[in-house]
Amino acid sequence: MLRRLFNKLDERLTAIKQNEAGKTRQGIFRGETYAILKRMLAENSRDYAGSYTIAILCLLAIAGTTAFSAWIMRDVIDEIFVNARADLIAVISFSIFAAFLIRGIAGYAQSVILARVGNNLVARYQKRIFDHLMKLGIGFFSDQRSGQLAARITENVNGVRDLLSMTLTSIARDLVSLLALVGVMIYQDPFLAMIALLIGPPLIFAVNTLMRRLRKAARKAVVINSRLVGAIQEATQGVAIVKAFTMEDQLSRRIGTLIDDAEQRANKIAQVSERTTPIAEILAGVAVAGVIAYSGYRAAYEQLPPGAVFAFITALMLAYDPARRLARVQVNLEKSLVNARMIYEILDIEPHQRDAIGATELKVQAGAIRFETASFAYDETLPVLRAVSFVAGANQTTAIVGSSGAGKSTLISLLLRFYDLQSGRITVDDQDIAGVTKQSLRSQIAYVSQQPYLFEGTIRDNIRYGRPDATDAEVEEAARIAYADTFIRAQTEGYDTLVGESGATLSGGQRQRVSIARAILRNAPILVLDEATSALDNESEAQVQAALERVMQGRTTIVIAHRMSTVVNADKIVVMDSGEVVEQGTHDALLADKNGIYARFYRLQTQKGLELVEDRAASELPPLQRKTLP
């Protein structure tokens, strides 16, 4: 049923783009509103049926007591003040008190119930959106700015709560109250009721006209606000670069422009949405003035008792508030609809990398990894890998080298199934990874990226992400192996020190060692190191390299590195160029081919290293000897 509903929604969204005519467009959006409401009710009504039932009963009690307050005014005027019925004073007074008591209790109960339901809905959709985002592939996040995405979700998720709450209160309280009060008015004086109801058609026409203007403005406001929040988040996260490149004024102007746009859009929405207030006031004033004039004329010349007129006027005045709220509810519904629809746009994105039907669990025994004519392109017109074939032997270290853009990191992304191959296959112990579950595949791999990322929390928490059930002793042992224990214990709170946003309180080398400790703690049979020591100085690199060599023992390891010093001891070296494997072999075998790409890389780095050593040695000599140095 939900699939049919979603297909129907897609058809209507397509129709919106193709039909610009006012009436057609209005009808489509009305149908879209019903479709989203129906979908939300189908997803949530069963869980909240009890709460909504109680809330509806409370709202009906409010509507009933409101109508009763108007209806009893006739008896108050005629029986108590005109006919002086003393025997009815206590009865009428108690009934009025009971009506106000019921309305007060019902009002409190429905407010609390709807608030709890609304807050739970927000929490539910936040969890649902985050779980769905975690199922989406890397490609989705490559096309999204994280700050804007977070701001959009935060702002939009409240639309789901407001859409359901407003729909419920509008129908169960305002609409029922209005109908009950109109019934009182008709009962008291049908002709006056007809005069009062003449304000309905022009009010409905005015509201519908405003809605067409508000809908587009509301969506633009959401987009602008998300861009603003995202830009502020990016500026604060990159504050070091901002200050280093004296970008303060430039960013201030950019943020200021976004703030001005957001302010103008908010003002536009306020101008459009608030136009219902003077329209409703003017029409209500015409109706009330007309009723008073007509009823006053009849009272003056036809000597009618005033009770019916007072009851009618009371009902008319009480009907003004629910009528005004109903006039505005479509305004507020349009805002909430925009937010709710944008939430469902995210939820309806289909993950491109679902597990294959009948996918099995990966079982790693030896851990041999084989790339068989693997080809891949992020863009169909720009292939990144072309028929790449090589074997990473079980319990061996395979190093992948090559210039930037050769496709080295793409190989790791494909092994982890961040993306899927266009052709060819990748196997682990002869098991095609396309036919196993991603969770089982990734659980067998410990990954250290070239850009270490730490999450909110303590250092201990970040290491424990490698294996959530690890003990504190195991966490600290992994840190010792990664040569991170010393600097961690030097922190103010040791392992319980908060790392700050993205690990801002730690240096790049410290963040990398925590990341390596996390991979060590995972204790997986396959280890993937993508420039794992790139952020370390020479001394730290030597220490961590020694630690990694301990960890590599008994594991299948793939190492991507630019520094030749980190790959010379590998069991196999795979050289890539322009997305192809051009050389394979050991360090000595590849070095023997003096015209090979690997040999050229090695000579360049070795020569650069010798020049640095000579320059450093020369700088330490006295000036006179420096001049005579050949």
Distance CA 603, CA 208 (A): 76
Tell me the average pLDDT across 120-130. 86
The reported pLDDT for the residue numbered 331 is 67
pLDDT of residue 368: 93
CATH placement of domain 448-523: 3.40.50.300
- pLDDT tens sequence across 152-195: 677 677 777 777 777 777 777 778 887 888 888 888 778 777 77
Average of pLDDT values for 398-413? 88
The number of C-alpha atoms within 13 Å of 587 and in the hemisphere containing its C-beta is 13
CA–CA distance, 329 with 335 (Å, rounded to integer): 10
Residue 350 is classified by DSSP as P
The pLDDT of residue 630 = 34
Q: Tens of pLDDT along 332-352?
A: 777 777 778 878 888 888 877
| Rounded Cα distance, 483 and 462, in Å | 16
Q: Looking at per-residue confidence, does 264 or 304 come out higher? A: 264
Q: Residue 25 has what pLDDT?
A: 40
CATH fold of 45-347 reads: ABC transporter transmembrane region fold (1.20.1560)
Range picked from 242-256, 524-538, 570-584 for highest mean pLDDT = 570-584
Decide which of 500 and 305 is more confident. 500
Residue 463 has what pLDDT?
A: 92
Choose the most confident range, by mean pLDDT, from 198-207, 293-302, 526-535, 600-609. 526-535
Q: Could you tell me the pLDDT band of residue 584, with boundaries at 50, 70 and 90?
A: very high
* pLDDT given for residue 273 in this prediction: 67
Cβ 100 vs Cβ 65: under 8 Å: yes
pLDDT for the residue numbered 147: 66
Question: Does the structure show a pLDDT above 50 at 7?
Answer: no
Say if residue 361's pLDDT is above 80. yes
pLDDT score for 612: 40
Query: Given this model, what pLDDT does residue 374 score?
Result: 93
Q: What is the pLDDT of residue 432?
A: 93
Average pLDDT value over all residues in the chain: 78
Confidence of residue 135 (pLDDT cuts 50, 70, 90): confident
Q: What is the mean pLDDT of the segment spanning 12-38? A: 50
> Residue 628 pLDDT more than 70?
no
Share of the chain above pLDDT 90, in %: 15
| Contact (Cβ atoms closer than 8 angstroms) between residue 66 and residue 318 | yes
Return the pLDDT at 3.
43
In this predicted structure, the answer to whether residue 503 has a pLDDT above a threshold of 70 is yes
Backbone angles phi, psi at 574, to 5 degrees: -110, 120
Half-sphere exposure of 333 (CA within 13 A, CB side): 26
Give the model confidence (pLDDT) of 313-331 as tens digits.
788 778 777 877 776 676 6
pLDDT digits (tens, 9 = 90+) for 249-293: 888 888 888 888 888 877 877 777 667 667 767 777 777 777 777
Short-list 422, 88, 177, CA closest to 185 = 177
Range 134-162 average pLDDT: 73
Q: Average the pLDDT over each of 56-65, 405-414, 453-462, 611-620 and give the range with the smallest value.
A: 611-620
Least-confidence region, from 212-221, 459-468, 474-483, 583-592? 212-221
Amino acid 4: pLDDT: 45
Tell whether the model's pLDDT for residue 67 goes beyond 50: yes
Please state, in angstroms and as integers, the Cα–Cα distance from residue 590 to each residue in 162, 263, 313, 556, 574, following that order.
67, 64, 99, 21, 10
Q: In the structure, what pLDDT confidence band is assigned to residue 24 with cuts at 50, 70 and 90?
A: very low
> Where are the chain's structural domains?
45-347, 448-523
Nearest 10 degrees: Cα torsion 593, 594, 597, 601: 130
Residues 6 or more apart from 105 whose CB is under 8 A from it?
A: none
**What letter would DSSP give residue 116?**
H
* Contact residues for 150 (Cβ-Cβ < 8 A; gap 6+): 229, 230, 233
Going from the C-alpha of 429 to that of each of 19, 501, 554, the distances in angstroms are 56, 39, 15
Q: Parallel, antiparallel, or unpaired: how do β-strands 431-432 and 445-448 relate? A: unpaired
Q: What is the pLDDT of residue 31?
A: 56
What is the predicted pLDDT for the residue at 214? 67
User: pLDDT by residue (tens digit) across 83-98?
Assistant: 778 888 888 889 989 9
Distance CA 486, CA 100 (A): 70
pLDDT at residue number 18 = 41
pLDDT (0 to 100) of residue 119 = 85
Indicate the burial class of 413 (C-beta count within 10 angstroms; 0-12, 13-18, 19 or more). Answer: middle
